[in-house]
Structure 1
Amino acid sequence: MKIKFIFFLMSLAVCWVSPSALANQDRVNTQDATSMKEGQPVTWKATLGTYQDSVTKDTSTDVNLRGSTKDTRFWFGYYQEPTNFKQSRLGAERAMDLASYGKLIYSLQVASGGFVGGSLTWDGKQDNVEGLSPLLGWGRTNAKPYVNLNFDPNDSVLWGGTYSQRQIGQISLFQIFDDRFNTGQRVTHLVWRGSMPNSVSLVVDAFHRSGASEAGDARVSGNGLATTLEMRDYFVRVAYDQKANYTQANITRLALGFRF
């Protein structure tokens, strides 16, 4: 009951901040899923991540705790760089079932430093139904400083689609592009999710990035690959990200986590 009340207050905040909102990290399912445990009202997932910068040689750290119920996710995170920049964040996400039209996902993120952001995403995929389905989304923030750990534009439009087939798994092709700050930022993702024997699953996210850090700056482009291996209640994610945040830096990411 307390969890539902907290989420209700956050949902009111979404309506006040902008007409539509969803947490930027969860606009599409490109990471490991948080499966519900039978007989357990909330399933928790803890993640520790490191981010190695090729230019500064600095290593940043991130700690994240996420809870999931049947149709709601909520999370708490803390990020810190060696330069003493640090940021705490809080978010919640809820999915609305649209029956044969898939689901509508809305949520909110807030962070220290005054950041507020979110978006609204329509995922046309129906549970346990194979074939093609659309993905559409829109995101907005109040333009305050924020560390997006996926390095995709926050104020942006998302469009694409998903193909699901039992033998090959799920394939998603989508693009996220800036529609507010005239940076030309655009990221194209190709994601495959598949299951293997012994409760092992794999998520592979290949992506291409292009655009400028700020309007008028020189454009850059780069590629990246993120792979997540799930083994029962444990998972590991390794990623290499060229021109992260549209700079000359290449970021190597490593994350370890478990569910309980």
Structure 2
Amino acid sequence: MRALKWMEIGSLVLVMATASACSQAQELRPDTAQFGSNPISYKLTPSYYFSSDNNDAVDLNLRAVLGEHTVWVGVYHDKENFQQSRTGYEYRHDFGLVRPVFSAQLASGGFLGGSVTAEIGGSNFAIVGFGRTNLKDYFNLNFDPNDAITLGIGSRALPKTELSLFHIWDDRLDTKQHVTHAVVRYKPNDAERWTADASYKHGRTGNGDNVQGLALTVTYDIGDYFARIARDQHANFSAASQNRISLGRRF
């Protein structure tokens, strides 16, 4: 297990070094990541999950954004040798008072899922969402129910600040899983941003046990780099709690 862990960490370092080299190459050849006149921006996120049941895991995710379109690929691997590759597509559009986001996910093992989420309003807005999957095995990296409804409110009325409060609950599988999020995003200047996401969950695990727990995720962005740490009790409505760390770069 120790050898596997060091191999995983080494892989993270290698991927980040490769991303850095690609970024430098793009600076020398600025048309490398072009589609027409619009640049494609990338975000690489290596993450490591420390689990209380010792089933630690590594995750690598690469996102590419071109205007209203986002595509991502990733791979998850844990110490119990569960591995899953995934890809997805997201389309967002601003109609003024309605700003929808359509998303689809595909993962190895036959998983297929999709969702639509929208903001409705101006600087103060409502949040609504709906998601469905084909119920195939999937390691859920958003740590909320996927077959669910989302309702909430948000505001950008305060300077440099975005606030949101929303509730997600399973409406399909009778797990009674509910998660409430309070999110604060603060951008003190053009180079930095802080994001804090505090949440409370309650519901049944896959074994039918009732659990409840708290989670807190803090992300700091500076320039092209960002770091994220999280503490999550009963992660993905399991018996295990997790500490998660992500270090990433945009290029």
TM over 0.5: yes
Contact 2:205 2:239 in 1 (8 A): no
Gaps of at least 5 residues in structure 1 are 1-36
Q: Which structure has more RCO (C-alpha within 8 Å, separation ≥ 6)?
A: 1
Partner of 1:66: 63
Which residues of 2 match residues 177-256 of structure 1 at below 5 A?
A: 177-197=169-189, 199-214=191-206, 217-256=208-247
Partner of 2:11: none
Contact 2:194 2:219 in 1 (8 A): yes
CA 1:82–1:125 in 2, change beyond 3 Å: closer, same or farther? farther
Given residue 222 of structure 1, which amino acid in structure 2 is its aligned partner? G
Shift of 1:125: 4.9
Of residues 69, 76, 81, the one that matches 1:79 is 76
Partner of 1:175: 167
Bigger shift: residues 166-175 or 232-241: 166-175
Given residue 140 of structure 1, which amino acid in structure 2 is its aligned partner? R
Partner of 2:98: 102
**What is the rounded CA distance, in whole Å, between the counterparts of 1:168 and 1:66 in structure 2?**
25
RMSD: 1.6
Contact 2:38 2:67 in 1 (8 A): no
**What is the rounded CA distance, in whole Å, between the counterparts of 1:219 and 1:59 in structure 2?**
23
Contact 1:90 1:109 in 2 (8 A): yes
Q: Deviations for 1:161-206, whole angstroms, at most 9, x for unmatched residues?
A: 1111242500000011000000000000000001123611100000
CA 1:125–1:73 in 2, change beyond 3 Å: closer, same or farther? farther
- TM normalised by structure 1 equals 0.80
**What is the rounded CA distance, in whole Å, between the counterparts of 1:239 and 1:141 in structure 2?**
26
**What is the rounded CA distance, in whole Å, between the counterparts of 2:195 and 2:113 in structure 1?**
26
1:118 matched to 2:110? The reply is: no
Contact 2:161 2:185 in 1 (8 A): yes
Match of 1:245, SS? helix
Shift of 1:59: 1.7
Partner of 2:45: 47
Q: Deviations for 1:27-50, whole angstroms, at most 9, x for unmatched residues?
A: xxxxxxxxxx9x752100001001
Gaps of at least 5 residues in structure 2 are 1-33
Q: Alignment identity in percent?
A: 38
**What is the rounded CA distance, in whole Å, between the counterparts of 2:188 and 2:209 in structure 1?**
43
Partner of 2:133: 141
How many corresponding residue pairs?
216
**What is the rounded CA distance, in whole Å, between the counterparts of 1:185 and 1:222 in structure 2?**
11
CA 1:93–1:125 in 2, change beyond 3 Å: closer, same or farther? farther
Match of 1:253, SS? strand
- TM normalised by structure 2 equals 0.82
**What is the rounded CA distance, in whole Å, between the counterparts of 1:200 and 1:71 in structure 2?**
23
